[in-house]
């Protein structure tokens, strides 16, 4: 089944404890992206990747890192999480030339205490 | 920069009634427009998209949307809703002013609540 998977689905952590949220897609998509969803703000892009080893900042990159060592994986790293990063995170991927039909993962709900 | 405004944060409606969810975007250049749906505890799913051509776009689950360039709107409609349509709906745009056609700019979302 074609899908985008994220792990973990739920995470409660404390300020300053490094964490990684994994994202994997099995559709051989070049483009991958991370969004955060906050009430009243919709989804905002954190980072994106056009292909392996090619990443760039989105609209709200502060406090986040990403890497793209393999085509299928695009982990989101929070080196020192803070309470303002408490949010619902979505990973998405899309194929080339499909005009932005992005496929979304199920989401990761992160709480930073 | 491009932006998307969803005019209603919540829309309550009775089952089998028609519904319209409103979306306006700001752009002076050609854009692509999308509606996504998010069911409770799930990711986003594409409902429909406008790229070019006919201004009336049909999507899944009986939804349709009309692109109106002069009013810069892309309202979503369904003639008769079901309880299962209860979800949050997001309008999104992409284009040269949003950072490229790969990047989606989302509205804040409209929560549709269908009551029996």
pLDDT of residue B98: 61
Mean predicted confidence (pLDDT) in A86-97: 89
Nearest Cα neighbor of B13 from B68, B89, B67, B64 is: B89
Q: What is the pLDDT of residue B96?
A: 65
Give the residue from chain A lying closest to B109, CA to CA.
A42
Residue B53 banded pLDDT, cuts 50, 70, 90: confident
Q: How many residues does chain B have?
A: 116
Count CB-CB contacts under 10 A for residue B84: 10
Q: From residue B104, how far is each of A16, B13, B95, B101 by CA, in Å?
A: 30, 28, 8, 8
Cis amide bond preceding A8, omega within 30: yes
Q: Would the CB atoms of B49 and A100 count as touching at under 8 Å?
A: yes
Does A43 contact chain B (CB < 8 Å)?
Answer: yes
State the smallest CA–CA distance between residue A112 and chain B in angstroms: 19
Confidence of residue A4 (pLDDT cuts 50, 70, 90): very high
pLDDT for the residue B3: 87
Confidence of residue A2 (pLDDT cuts 50, 70, 90): confident
Residue A99 has pLDDT above 70, yes or no: no
**d(Cα B66, Cα B57) in Å, to the nearest integer?**
6
Among chain A residues, the shortest Cα distance to B99 is held by A58
Q: Is pLDDT larger for residue A81 or for residue B30?
A: A81
Q: Say whether residue A58 is in contact with chain B using an 8 A CB cutoff.
A: yes
* Inter-chain residue contact A40 with B51, CB threshold 8 Å: no
Burial of B69 (0-12, 13-18, 19+ CB in 10 A): exposed
Confidence of residue B45 (pLDDT cuts 50, 70, 90): very high
Which among B60, B76, B99, B61 is positioned nearest to B11, based on CA atoms?
B76
Q: What pLDDT shows up at residue A1? A: 84
Residue of chain B nearest A3, judged by CA positions = B43
> CA neighbours within 13 Å on the CB side: how many for B38?
23
Question: Is residue B75 very low, low, confident or very high in pLDDT (cuts 50, 70, 90)?
Answer: very high
Pick B32's closest partner by Cβ from A4, A35, A99. A99
**B8-46 burial, b if ≥16 CB within 10 A, otherwise e?**
eeebebeeeeebebbbbbebeeebbbbbbbbeeeebbeb
pLDDT of A60: 95
Question: Which residues fall within 8 angstroms of residue A97, CB to CB, at 6 or more apart?
Answer: none
The mean-pLDDT minimum among A15-19, B40-44, B90-94, B105-109 falls in: B40-44
pLDDT tens sequence across A26-82: 999 999 999 999 988 999 999 999 889 999 999 999 999 999 999 999 999 999 999
- Whole-number pLDDT of residue B27: 73
d(CA B40, CA A71): 29
- Give yes or no for a contact between B91 and B8, defined as CB atoms under 8 angstroms apart: no
Going by their DSSP bridges, the two strands B64-68 and B73-78 should be labelled as antiparallel
Name the CA radius of gyration of chain A, rounded. Answer: 13
Q: What is the mean pLDDT of chain B?
A: 90
Residue B108 has its nearest CB partner, among A42, A101, A107, at A42
What pLDDT sits at residue B104? Answer: 86
Of the pLDDT bands very low, low, confident and very high (cuts 50, 70, 90), residue B79 is very high
């Amino acid at each position: 089944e074609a899908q985008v998977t994220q792990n973990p689905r739920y995470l409660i952590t404390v300020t300053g404890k490094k964490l990684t949220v994994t994202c994997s897609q099995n559709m051989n998509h070049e483009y991958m992206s991370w969004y955060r969803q906050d009430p009243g703000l919709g989804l905002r892009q954190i980072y994106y990747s056009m292909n392996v080893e090619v990443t760039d900042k989105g609209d709200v990159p502060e406090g986040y890192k990403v890497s793209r060592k393999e085509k299928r994986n695009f982990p989101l790293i929070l080196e020192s999480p803070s309470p303002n990063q408490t949010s619902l995170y979505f990973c998405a991927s899309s194929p080339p030339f499909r005009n932005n039909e992005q496929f979304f993962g199920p989401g990761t709900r992160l709480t930073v205490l | 920069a491009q932006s998307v405004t969803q005019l209603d944060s919540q829309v309550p409606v009775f089952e089998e009634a028609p519904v319209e969810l409103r979306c306006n975007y700001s752009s002076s250049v050609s854009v692509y427009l999308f509606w996504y749906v998010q069911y409770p505890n799930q990711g986003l799913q594409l409902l429909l998209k406008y790229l070019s051509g006919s201004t009336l776009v049909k999507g899944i689950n009986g939804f349709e949307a009309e692109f109106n360039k002069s009013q810069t709107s892309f309202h979503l409609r369904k003639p008769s809703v079901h309880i299962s349509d209860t979800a949050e709906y997001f309008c999104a745009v992409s284009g040269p002013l949003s950072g490229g056609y790969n990047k989606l700019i989302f509205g804040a979302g409209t929560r549709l609540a269908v009551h029996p």
